[in-house]
A and B are shown apart, each in its own frame.
Chain A
Amino acid sequence: ETGVTQTPRHLVMGMTNKKSLKCEQHLGHNAMYWYKQSAKKPLELMFVYNFKEQTENNSVPSRFSPECPNSSHLFLHLHTLQPEDSALYLCASSQDRDDRNFPFGSGTRLTVV
């Protein structure tokens, strides 16, 4: 257990659906991250929140919409996704933005059909 919990573990959605991924940490961390891992590709940073403020949006399409209501919770809202968005979505948190030992959640395996 890393202290970062992601739900659901698996998600299958149609291209017209709207769904949300949830990430929760009770480690007292101030920064939270969304990463995407596609098959045979490196982990790609999507969004960074620091003290609930978005500090990084790595040119992510608007069909992905993050939300950070408080420092313990992070959501990724999904709508009108494409099959190429199928991937493992990982959440991570860190005490501050420079803490390299930052735990990841187990991820949500997303399949868009």
Chain B
Amino acid sequence: DQQVKQNSPSLSVQEGRISILNCDYTNSMFDYFLWYKKYPAEGPTFLISISSIKDKNEDGRFTVFLNKSAKHLSLHIVPSQPGDSAVYFCAASDGFGNEKLTFGTGTRLTIIP
């Protein structure tokens, strides 16, 4: 039973437009959420995170939104650039320690020049 779901395996967006990646979760005990980015032949790298006490966190072109009532978070990338083409993983945690992280299956984002 997947507690963190990324229902869109892939997404294509025109360069310069907004990319919106979605993530849903089922465990109401999750209190910290993260996004990781993975290029082919490389490991995932941390991108941005948000605590459950917030509903938005921004870092440059990347913004994560959290809707606790809907158990939904999203990552917005604007404007999208070709270098953003990668697989994006959503992860959630329900306590102290990285062993508490639960990952989604990932969404492959392709930015079309």
Contact = CB atoms under 8 A, between A and B. Distances in A.
A17 interface: no
B98 A31 contact: yes
A105 B104 contact: no
A63 B107 CA distance: 31
B42 interface: yes
Interface residues of A, number: 30
B43 A107 contact: yes
Contact of A42 (B43, B45, B103): B103
Contact of A40 (B49, B101, B103, B105): B105
Given A4-B43, A106-B43, A97 B4 contact: no
B45 A97 contact: no
Contact of B4 (A42, A45, A98, A101): A42
A105 B49 CA distance: 20
Contacts of A90: 43-44
B59 interface: no
A102 B99 contact: no
A29 to B, nearest CB: 11
A45 B34 contact: no
A42 B99 contact: no
B2 A42 contact: yes
